[in-house]
Amino acid sequence: MDINMPKPPLATLLDAVLFDLDGVIVDTAHLHFLAWRHVAEKNGLTLSKAQNESLKGLSRMDSLKMIYTLHGLPLPDASTLEAMATEKNHWYVDALKTLSAKDILPGVLNLLETLRTHHIKTAVASSSKNAKTILAHIGLQDAFDTIVDGWSIEKSKPDPEVFLKAAERLHARPEHTLVIEDALSGIQAARAAGMCVLGVGSHEQLGVADAVVLSLNAFHLEDFVQRFCPNKGER
């Protein structure tokens, strides 16, 4: 791009920003890990931090099935799986009670403010059925234009459904939509939806995103959008 050319206004390049919840807006990803490890150990299994990476973004039941897959073990019967998933959720929901606005991750509020200033739509796009509870705990229940959560979708990430549904509700064009994700499954889902995608976390794990930052504090929206949005497809 010629540096002397005037830059197009942000809202002509970007219709909407879709925020993943766990691990992007608030660090509930760690609480999911502790809850799954508790249930795994009670059932004679283990769960390391590294193994937990492949659970991120998956639905509750898909996460549990992934734990068995990681161990190379056959799945127990459906009622045992249901009981384990329910126990994990009880543990997790109990841990959520300690959450408050102080747990909002760095850079989130500033980015929301910038997007509001530029009249760019926002959504939470999460696989979690606890998304609305979490947003209420941290005081952000009214901060987004829409919330698409685990109750609104049939297939969890890496399927693109959650992001396509959010974009449709906001009348946003997928290639002019930015997804912010902390999980590889979420980045794959955003790619499959034809959206531009920012990873929050380690470059090693999330390198397939357009760009990766350690924290949203280090993210410069305008620079990113000028470079990557609209999404031109596979790069």
Q: Give the binding site for ligand B16 (CB under 6 A).
A: 20-23, 29, 32, 55-60, 63, 89, 126-130, 150, 183
**CA–CA separation, 151 vs 1, rounded Å?**
43
Which among 111-119, 149-157, 179-187, 226-234 is the span making contact with Mg ion, rule CB under 5 A? 179-187
- H or E stretch including 42? helix 29-42
**CA–CA separation, 111 vs 128, rounded Å?**
22
**Nearest-approach distance from CB 186 to ligand B16, in angstroms:** 6
Given the residues 2, 15, 22, 94, the one annotated as active site: 22
User: Could you say which of 162, 183, 189, 225 contacts Mg ion (CB under 5 A)?
Assistant: 183
**Nearest-approach distance from CB 36 to ligand B16, in angstroms:** 8
> Whose CB is nearest to ligand B16?
126
**CA–CA separation, 235 vs 232, rounded Å?**
8
Q: How many residues bind Mg ion (CB under 5 A)?
A: 5
Given the residues 20, 149, 159, 182, the one annotated as active site: 20
**CA–CA separation, 86 vs 145, rounded Å?**
30
**CA–CA separation, 130 vs 112, rounded Å?**
21
CB-wise, 35 or 229, nearer to ligand B16? 35
> Is 142 labeled as catalytic in the residue annotation?
no
130 binds, among ligand B16, Mg ion, none (CB under 5 to 8 A by kind): ligand B16
**Nearest-approach distance from CB 3 to ligand B16, in angstroms:** 38
**CA–CA separation, 78 vs 215, rounded Å?**
39
Q: What ranges make up the beta strands (E) of 27-165?
A: 121-125, 146-148
Q: Half-sphere exposure of residue 68, counting CA atoms within 13 Å on the CB side?
A: 14
Give the SS3 label for residue 211. strand
Tokens found for residue 112 = 């929301």
> Is 20 labeled as catalytic in the residue annotation?
yes
Give the SS3 label for residue 199. strand
CB-wise, 23 or 174, nearer to ligand B16? 23
**Nearest-approach distance from CB 222 to Mg ion, in angstroms:** 24
| Contacting residues toward Mg ion, per CB under 5 A | 20, 22-23, 182-183
The residues annotated with a catalytic role in the active site are 20, 22
